[in-house]
Structure 1
């Protein structure tokens, strides 16, 4: 993390809401603009029959649809959209998947008198940009920084210099002789016209706002003290209960929540707790809510290894020592850099990050770096891209974070099951867990991407954690074998210089000592603070979602502070 960015974020936390002083330039203040792609997140979808012909309607747009060999197919080439589905439940439903914009999501249409109706859901990019311009009290110089809760864009757009003269302002970046952004203020001083283009999204009108009235700039508007309430019982498969009635240490919960409201733990979007298979805490901040699909980033990697476990349970694979290259017959004779070491790479090496490939996400110069893989256009098949990487060491010898290797796991299961990755995952994991809504990333060649980034509901993420705390069961029904859960959540490799084996099969391992008691936890972890904790000794699941992308200094506190100092001691009291 860059030092200057840390300083700016500390400034943001402490002064973003302070009132503008008198006799200051018109530039000083907080300016807001929302950039978004031209697409609708959720849209009504209907498939119906008219004059013995099948038709489809998305919103008000007629779509071409075919019904052949028991499948409905919508191939909307003009918008790059594709749907494939089939009848289910004695034709009461049509179930399938909608692919578009490099995302895929499940679709369920229910029979009505007018046909089968439902919605198609996709993901779209939106950036809420807060541009804070402040005056240094000692020097009188202006300084500026950007706060963005969706993608933490201030980490990438670092403003190092501000020039303001009259009704004009210019913002400069690092090593920049020309301004990144230039704009003019309206006569009233409440509008800043300044063209902005970030991640392909454009806008030019920024409006001055009061951060104390902005839902995205405060944990909760107008609330400084927390009052606990039992989570709402909704039809999502969870039974809720009162944490206060379990005997938990509510002083710890109160102190934690008051600290979140006071912005001690900046950028935390949601916190969900499950104890003894009951959802006991369900809290959201910065405008987020329980129906908001949240990016999970690399926490989704734990789904990849789980697919391997599910495939083993179904005898689609024999063991985790099967050779990776042998499981990709479609590339036989085409894999580059195929030496003896690559031929020996096993499934377990992918899950423990010990691939031996020239693949290190923590090294920008590594050819297998996830960003390098996704930014290049020469090879759109990311599976083939990863398989082609040269070997730099023996597989299984050293663990380095390699997202490309994790993505191979999904395609292995797709190959042996002869199903798209997302279809296998949906049928064998999500449906048993009563998970109906999510949006999954796909690769440029329409494979489901298992490297991370699936968007899910926090309460559904807790189901995934509970499955593993329950050693593979959900509501008493076996979903995945107990043997797999035990193997997946024990340490197999050492990452980041840990003193013990702190990485399992795409699950991190953490040892806590609280109040003289030792607790082993496993957790899925994603950039920005996406965490799914399981603490079997307490029958506890904790789910965090946050927006501190590329700012580990902020979200590490969820792991090393909130868990041992608040959540574990709060729940541990119920055991005594």
Structure 2
């Protein structure tokens, strides 16, 4: 009898082990419930700074990180609090706050830690960008399972989070693991017969656990109503009705200022004033401002300098007779002449330096510089992210501090902006091609800075000359439908309202992220959206021309 029982146990274990090995059995949709709406809103604390028992702490409803600080210099902190995670910060002159960045995944989350009564420095890290989950639904799509191979993609019921970019899918026996290389979140799952026990971690430190069951109904994602009461001076009832009826789908915010005063502010689909929005390529215009700040501080001589004056030695091999003429101005005006033109299905997949191409390589800068020249620099303009990407490398080479601290100190702190995120490249440096996250009201501040010719609250931040040069129309973009004029990473467009032509200078990003600067009306308009794959990226232009301009 004992032998029979032993054989039965061994057979059962072997059967389950064999069952657990085949990911085809798990290729399905899975769903579970998160423990609370604040699980990804993390309290960050620096305790006893300058003392022997100083600590760096992260917690939600429980302690996650408790890391001893060994600081040689309390004014400049560098804290590697977990594997592949770090915090770098600088103490303010008055000793009342610490401005710094948590590096997690490909993102630099800016934190402002403020001194509390008990001498600790406190701040909040919203790792999913949103200030609180509106839905606790958590879904996992397990795809292409076969043997030990699979892919897994977490999808949150609160779709205001911009989503994960998962990779590095591993499996050992009945344990799986993968990583979101955007946010840096780690996922580890234990495969049971009818469920998956999933843990979400910072390195080896547990954030939360979820019990997942196979989905039997469609997932409920998004669909949140607007919680905000619109008390704006300007009434845009027709626009609001069209947004509510889904005639302008995925519109997330509309904010308008005139002569520095906010006259309209409204949020939709559950968005609010505290959520930094992915600006996509609209942050190219911020990249232009960083170049301007460096020029104002005489960190480089002029915009006629060759990009090869700034590039590391390893890239000098690409400095041929034509590419050496690629200068700062040609990069600012999309006129480098590099084949970075994306014509969709007609783009050259092998040699062109489109974002889709170079971001698939281990060295983005090398891939860009390898691309052939199709025009002489400063002759023809073709929109593409390769140009500002090179600018980012150039600026990083000339600033004395980490580039993100230069950006924070000389731009965002001056504009009183602290709730933001910077996307990095493979070198862990700020990516100038796009991907900053700012709140709509902070995007408005940036537009007002340029409307006011480099001043904000009467204080000079960027030189008047740089703003004037930035807003010039150097040449038209040849690879966009409307052949828009283009300045220093700023778009030009003309609208018609009440039988008048109105000129606008714009920051634009994929999905419908717009900052409209209208000098003749002393007005800035910000519209953020989520139209990434439905052909409605330029929807804000319709909203602006038909439903905002006539009322201005």
TM-score by length of 2: 0.73
Q: How does 1:138-153 map to 2 (within 5 A)?
A: none
**Do residues 570 (structure 1) and 551 (structure 2) align?**
yes
Distance 1:326 1:410 in 2: 13
Q: Secondary structure at the match of 1:555?
A: coil
Partner of 2:40: 40
Partner of 1:371: 356
**Do residues 511 (structure 1) and 494 (structure 2) align?**
yes
Distance 1:34 1:295 in 2: 26
Match among 518, 525, 532 for residue 535 of structure 1: 518
Distance 2:34 2:308 in 1: 43
**Do residues 217 (structure 1) and 199 (structure 2) align?**
no
- Contact kept in structure 1, 2:33 and 2:211, CA below 8 Å: no
Q: Secondary structure at the match of 2:316?
A: coil
**Do residues 523 (structure 1) and 516 (structure 2) align?**
no
Structure 2 unpaired stretches of 5+:
1-29, 141-156, 164-193, 199-209
Deviation at 1:344, TM superposition (A): 0.8
Distance 2:485 2:295 in 1: 24
Q: Secondary structure at the match of 2:55?
A: strand
Q: Secondary structure at the match of 1:106?
A: strand
Distance 1:390 1:470, change over 3 A: same
Distance 1:367 1:195 in 2: 44
- Contact kept in structure 1, 2:115 and 2:122, CA below 8 Å: no
Match among 82, 87, 93 for residue 89 of structure 1: 93
Distance 2:71 2:355 in 1: 39
Distance 1:152 1:548, change over 3 A: farther
Deviations 1:70-123 (A, max 9, x none): 544344364311222232233222332221212112222223343332225254
The 4+ residue runs of structure 1 with deviation greater than 6 A are: 31-36, 125-131, 192-196
Match among 457, 461, 468 for residue 475 of structure 1: 457
Q: Secondary structure at the match of 2:48?
A: strand
- Contact kept in structure 2, 1:548 and 1:554, CA below 8 Å: yes
Distance 2:370 2:128 in 1: 31
Match among 336, 341, 351 for residue 322 of structure 2: 341
**Do residues 494 (structure 1) and 476 (structure 2) align?**
yes
Deviation at 1:499, TM superposition (A): 6.9
- Contact kept in structure 2, 1:307 and 1:410, CA below 8 Å: no
- Contact kept in structure 2, 1:102 and 1:446, CA below 8 Å: yes
Match among 377, 400, 411 for residue 429 of structure 1: 411
Deviation at 1:384, TM superposition (A): 4.2
Deviation at 1:508, TM superposition (A): 0.7
Structure 1 stretch 274-283 or stretch 95-104: which is displaced more? 95-104
Distance 2:265 2:420 in 1: 19
Distance 1:151 1:77 in 2: 25
Distance 1:39 1:392 in 2: 51
Structure 1 stretch 454-463 or stretch 310-319: which is displaced more? 310-319
Match among 89, 102, 119 for residue 115 of structure 1: 119
Partner of 1:62: 66
- Contact kept in structure 1, 2:454 and 2:460, CA below 8 Å: yes
Distance 1:470 1:55 in 2: 43
Q: How does 1:273-284 map to 2 (within 5 A)?
A: 273-284=256-267
Distance 2:118 2:386 in 1: 45
Deviation at 1:318, TM superposition (A): 2.0
Distance 1:50 1:69 in 2: 9
- Contact kept in structure 1, 2:49 and 2:74, CA below 8 Å: no
Q: How does 1:364-403 map to 2 (within 5 A)?
A: 365=349, 366-376=351-361, 378-379=362-363, 382-403=364-385
- Contact kept in structure 2, 1:64 and 1:76, CA below 8 Å: no
Deviations 1:478-535 (A, max 9, x none): 1112221122122212123567651111111001222222211011111111111111
Partner of 2:80: 76
- Contact kept in structure 1, 2:128 and 2:161, CA below 8 Å: no
Distance 1:84 1:78 in 2: 13
Q: Secondary structure at the match of 1:68?
A: coil
Distance 1:288 1:386, change over 3 A: same
Deviation at 1:149, TM superposition (A): 5.2
Structure 1 unpaired stretches of 5+:
1-30, 132-146, 154-191, 231-241, 244-249, 572-576
Deviation at 1:452, TM superposition (A): 0.8
Distance 2:286 2:548 in 1: 25
Partner of 2:231: 229
CA RMSD of aligned residues (A): 3.6
Structure 1 stretch 357-366 or stretch 78-87: which is displaced more? 357-366
Partner of 1:13: none
Distance 1:266 1:455, change over 3 A: same
Q: How does 1:541-552 map to 2 (within 5 A)?
A: 541-551=524-534
- Contact kept in structure 1, 2:129 and 2:161, CA below 8 Å: no
Match among 225, 242, 245 for residue 259 of structure 1: 242
- Contact kept in structure 2, 1:512 and 1:519, CA below 8 Å: yes
Deviation at 1:262, TM superposition (A): 1.0
**Do residues 321 (structure 1) and 273 (structure 2) align?**
no
Deviation at 1:345, TM superposition (A): 0.4
Q: Secondary structure at the match of 1:401?
A: coil
Distance 2:367 2:39 in 1: 30
Deviation at 1:462, TM superposition (A): 0.5
Deviations 1:193-215 (A, max 9, x none): 9999xxxx99664475797xx7x
- Contact kept in structure 2, 1:130 and 1:148, CA below 8 Å: no
Partner of 1:168: none
